[in-house]
Chains A and B, each alone.
Chain A
């Protein structure tokens, strides 16, 4: 089956620093990837759609300048949390549909803790 990886799996950073999270489709190409965040004991909330070769589209209420998304290749999307603050602490999950299908494959998630 298709595999999506995320790196790092967990990161702890100081307030004010920036953190980059990578999402890779390991054995298939993905022109589109999705970024979700999940607060403890809550559901996944879509943050943005990452589009290869073009700008990401953000959901209402998500600050595009705070959550920078770059989809530089057909197998890699990155989410950079800029000037992170404790309220950004969350579980960030990416997903990617194999091109031509509607089946979403999820990454294992990245636990971000901002001190």
Chain B
């Protein structure tokens, strides 16, 4: 079965602390994975994708096929990072995204 799991509904950290938002996936093929972010009162937007291996707003995510994970990390959280984060899988490059349940990141001052 194709599935994306984000085990934490809420992650609360202080400003400057490291952040890791967990994402695990279930997919038999070669996965195409994304992190999307939704800031308060804004639409969902792409944060980063595993293919590009880039760092956006200080966030990185590494695909670990052995652990079937795609955790999102940032070494020093900022208050403006507070948002809802969704991990998503695009199976077979169809464009049909399978979303995880989402994790609310709360960065406290």
Which residue numbers of A lie inside 8 Å of B, CB to CB?
Answer: 32, 34, 42-46, 49, 59, 93, 95, 97, 102-104, 106-109
A residues in contact with B101, CB < 8 Å: 42-43
Contact of B46 with A104 in the complex, beta carbons under 8 Å: yes
Q: In the complex, A82 Cα to B106 Cα: how many Å?
A: 39
User: Which of these, A44, A59, A97, A107, contacts B99 with CB under 8 Å?
Assistant: A44
With A43-B101, A46-B96, A93-B44 known as contacts, the answer to whether A102 contacts B86 (CB < 8 A) is no
Contact of A102 with B43 in the complex, beta carbons under 8 Å: no
Give chain A's interface secondary structure class: strand
Q: In the complex, A28 Cα to B44 Cα: how many Å?
A: 18
With A44-B86, A102-B90 known as contacts, the answer to whether A108 contacts B97 (CB < 8 A) is no
Interface residue tally for chain B (C-beta within 8 Å): 18
B residues in contact with A102, CB < 8 Å: 32, 90, 93, 95
Can you report 21 residue pairs joining A to B where beta carbons are below 8 Å apart?
A: A42-B101, A43-B86, A43-B100, A44-B97, A44-B99, A46-B97, A49-B95, A49-B96, A59-B96, A95-B44, A97-B95, A102-B95, A103-B46, A104-B46, A104-B97, A106-B36, A106-B43, A107-B43, A108-B42, A108-B43, A109-B43
Can you name the residue of chain B whose Cβ is closest to the Cβ of A57?
B96
Q: In the complex, A34 Cα to B96 Cα: how many Å?
A: 7
User: Which of these, A32, A44, A59, contacts B95 with CB under 8 Å?
Assistant: A32
0/1 interface trace, chain B 77-105, chain A, CB 8 Å (1 if under): 00000000010001001011111111000
